[in-house]
Amino acid sequence: MGLFERLFSKEKIEVKMDKPKCSPATGEHEWQEMVGYVPAEKSEYQTISLIATAIAAGDQPESKFVVRRISKRNPEVQLISVITTSIASANRPESQFVIQSIKEKKLI
């Protein structure tokens, strides 16, 4: 290595820094989307299917329907959506909101 190379060259220094993993003291969290609909109870099946098929049949009483699945709104999701929209519209009661998803924190 010459004199000029030693004076004017920059040494390549490799610095390796390990970033510590940041995790809460209670454990890591993961967000999971809450389902908007949950399966209905077996006791509600007959009443719901009778009403739904009667409405769907309309003027054609000879038609037949098969009800494959009956779901109802998740009461927890309903409560959360009502509370959040009430808080958000406190200053502007004429406003409208659409909630696209509700997520809950799950402990891993």
Q: Residue 2 domain-assigned? A: no
Structural domain that includes position 54 = 27-107
Q: Residue 47 domain-assigned? A: yes
Quick one: average pLDDT of 73-85?
A: 93
3-state SS class at 15:
coil
Q: Specify whether the CB–CB gap between 89 and 13 falls below 8 A.
A: no
Write out the two tokens for 91: 């200053």
Q: Residue 90 domain-assigned? A: yes
Predicted confidence band of residue 10 (pLDDT cuts 50, 70, 90):
low
Q: Residue 7 domain-assigned? A: no
Q: Residue 46 domain-assigned? A: yes
Write out the two tokens for 38: 């949950």
Q: Specify whether the CB–CB gap between 36 and 73 falls below 8 A.
A: yes
Q: Residue 1 domain-assigned? A: no
Q: Residue 51 domain-assigned? A: yes
- Total of domains in the chain: 1
Inform me whether the pLDDT recorded for 107 exceeds 80.
no
Report pLDDT for 79.
95
Q: Residue 41 domain-assigned? A: yes
Write out the two tokens for 30: 């993961």
Quick one: average pLDDT of 64-89?
A: 91
Burial of 38 (0-12, 13-18, 19+ CB in 10 A): middle
Contacts of 44 (CB under 8 A, 6+ apart): 70, 72
Least confident segment among 20-24, 93-97, 98-102: 20-24
Predicted confidence band of residue 99 (pLDDT cuts 50, 70, 90):
confident
